[in-house]
A and B are shown apart, each in its own frame.
Chain A
Amino acid sequence: MQGKELYPFMTVGQTIRFTRAFFPAWRRDLEEKYLELFRLPREKKVPKLSKGMRTQLMLLLAMTRGAELLLMDEPTSGLDPAVTEDILRALADLAASSETTIFFSSHQLAEVEQICDRVCLIDEGQAVIDGELDDLKAQYRRILLVFDGEPPRALACLPGIDHLRQRGRSASLLAHMDVDSVVEGARELKPVSLEVRPVTLKELFLDHVKGE
C-alpha cells in the first residue's frame, strides 16, 4: 500500500477493468459500493487523483478481488482523518460481512483498536502482546491510586502487577488477569482514592515497550 503506484496512463475505470480481468471472484457489488463511498470518478486519470484517492482506489482494487486474505501495510499512512475514517469503516465492514481476513500493519494504535479483532504488538522484532483485542481489554486494567503520603513500598509487591509508575503521592498500576485481587490488595494499603480504568492499546504498548 505504501508505494501507491498505479498505472499513470489509465483512468480509474480502466484500472478497475484491468484488475478485474485477473480475478474471477471479483465482487462487482463491492466495486460499485466503494466507488460511491470513496467518491472516485471513473473517468479521471490516475495522476490527477489525490494521494488519498489513490489509496482509496488501491483499497478498492484489493477489497473487491474476492481474496480470502488481504495483507495491508500502513493502509492509512499519510491520509487525512476523514479519508482514514472512510477506509477504516470500509475495512471493518468487509471483514464483518465476508469471509475475508484482513491482516494489516500500522503504527496508529488507535486505528488498530478501532477495527481489529486480534492484535500482535511487535517491538524490535519480538511480539510483546498477542491476542484477541476484547480479551486483552478484559484482562488488563489501569488502577490509579492516591495516597496521603508517599505510596507504600508494598505496592510494588502486589501479585498480578505488570507495571508500576509512581509520581508524588499517586501511583498507577497496570494489572493483568486477576485484577480483582490486585484491587483488593491495593485497597488494603489504604489509598485516599482508587480508580480502575480500562486500558487502551497505546497504554499497553507503552507499558510493555517503555516500561512507563
Chain B
Amino acid sequence: MLWLKAWLETRWRFVFLVGSILVVWLAPFWITATGVVHSGVPAVKQWMGIQLGSVLLYIFTAIYLAGSGVNSQTMYSATSGFHGSMFFTLSLPVSRRRLLFVRAGLGAIQSSVLVAIMAGYMLFLRPEATSALQVLEYMTRAVSCTMAVYALSVLLACVLDEMWQMYAAILCCTAVFMLQQRFTVISRISPLRGMSLIAYPLTAPVPWLPVAASLVMIVVFLGASVLVLQRKEY
C-alpha cells in the first residue's frame, strides 16, 4: 500500500517528465524538418547539444523525483498544502526507515527507468556503440551516476522544503561542475562527467571511477537521510 501511495503521489511528476523527455526526443526531428539549425552546424555538434540537454534532463529527473519521493516528510511542508498529510502518515504503524525506503525507492526506480531509456535513445541518435554490452555499460553508468544526484536530492529533501531542496540540489551540481573544471581529482570521480557520453565516449575505456564514487555517494547520502529522518521532531 505504501508503494501505491507513493505512486499516486508521484504519478503526475512522472508523466510530466515523460512529456519533457518526449519533447527532447522529438526536438532533433523537428529541428531537421524545419531547418531551424543553420545547415552549416555539423551533425556532431547538434548531437553534442542534444547529449548535453539529456545530461541536464537526467539531473532534473533525479532532483524532481527525489523531491516528490520524500518531500512530504520534511519539517516545513509537513503540515500544510499538498504535503500536509505527514501527521497522518506518521500515525500509521510504519517505521520512518520503511517510509523513506518506499518513497525514495519508487523515485529511484522511476528515475532509473527514465534515465536508462534516455541513455539508450542517445545511442540510437548517434549509434557509436558496436555491441550490446557497450549500450548496457552506458546505461549502467548513466543510471548509477544519476542516482548519486538522486541520493543527494533525497538527503536535501529530508531537511529542506521542496523548492529549497531543488535549488540546493541544482546549486550543488553547479558547484561540482565548476570544481571538476579546476581540480583533476574531482573531475575523475565526478558523477556529472560519468553520466556523459561527451566526457567518456563509448570508444574510451569504461570510467569505473565515477561509477564507484557514485555508489559510495548513494550509500552515504541515503544513510544520512535515514539518520536525519529518524532524529527529526515533527
Contact = CB atoms under 8 A, between A and B. Distances in A.
A6 B91 CA distance: 11
B107 to A, nearest CB: 16
Contacts of A104: none
A77 interface: no
A9 B8 contact: yes
B94 interface: yes
B205 to A, nearest CB: 46
Q: What's the interface size class on B, roughly?
A: 10 to 19
Contacts of B79: 3, 5
Contacts of A22: 1, 92-94
A18 interface: yes
Contact of A18 (B5, B82, B84, B86): B5
B161 interface: no
A10 B2 CA distance: 13
B85 A6 contact: yes
A5 B77 CA distance: 12
B87 interface: yes
A103 to B, nearest CB: 15
Interface in A45-65: none
A23 B8 CA distance: 21
B5 A7 contact: yes
A8 interface: yes
Nearest to B92: A22
Interface string B1-31: 1001100110000000000000000000000
Nearest to B12: A9
A21 B88 contact: no
Given A7-B9, A14-B8, 14 more contacts: A3-B79, A3-B88, A5-B79, A5-B85, A5-B87, A5-B88, A6-B88, A10-B8, A18-B1, A18-B5, A21-B1, A22-B1, A22-B94, A23-B93
12 contacts: A5-B86, A5-B88, A6-B88, A7-B5, A7-B88, A8-B85, A14-B8, A17-B1, A18-B5, A22-B1, A22-B92, A22-B93
Interface of A: 3, 5-10, 14, 17-19, 21-23
Q: 10 closest Cβ contacts across the A-B interface? A: A21-B1, A5-B84, A5-B85, A9-B8, A7-B85, A22-B92, A18-B1, A3-B87, A22-B93, A6-B88
